Amino acid sequence: MNTSTTRDTGTVEFRTTGYAHPDAQALSAEVQQEYVRRYGDPDETVMRPEDFEAPAGLFVIAYLDGRPVACGGWRAKQAGPDDLRDGDVELKRMFVIPEARGRGLARAMLRRLERSAVEAGRTRVVLETGTEQPEAVGLYESEGYAAIRKFGIYKDHPQSICLGKELAPAV
């Protein structure tokens, strides 16, 4: 699923690449450095490339004039502790490099990921972010995400924020 749009700031192309793709790994390394700057440590969540392979997952990179500038993915979750349920997907590694921010790429990526989750028969998106990422929290809240019970390895961390959004079924 590759699509392109031309904006006054250049041509943006979204490519489904998988998490093992070299560009995905490079952007993931950049987001880890962002976490170090904001929180003092990288994210210790286990990220396996196979978790982002269809039909149980997806990973997308946005390219601006051929350069990888943003990424995001989802992986299927199963019912379990912390109110996670079958049909959930967890949003991971949403990131836009600093030089490409302010162009609406994060919102476009989020909507693309939500659409693909609906197409895969998923019913809710859940995510974990943090207090030191107010721009991310603002984006998610503006797109209808609300606080849910904390989950994951950071559920007891005071800077952790967990959000979720019910997805409307595909028409």
pLDDT in tens, 52-104: 999 999 999 999 999 999 999 999 999 988 999 999 999 999 999 999 999 99
Q: How far is Cα of residue 98 from the mean position of the Cα atoms in its chain?
A: 16
Q: What is the pLDDT of residues 100-138, one digit of tens each?
A: 999 999 999 999 999 999 999 999 999 999 999 999 999
Q: Is the pTM of this model over 0.85?
A: yes
Please tell me the predicted confidence (pLDDT) of residue 6.
45
- The class of domain 3-124 in CATH terms is alpha beta
Q: Return d(Cα 17, Cα 102) in angstroms, integer.
A: 24
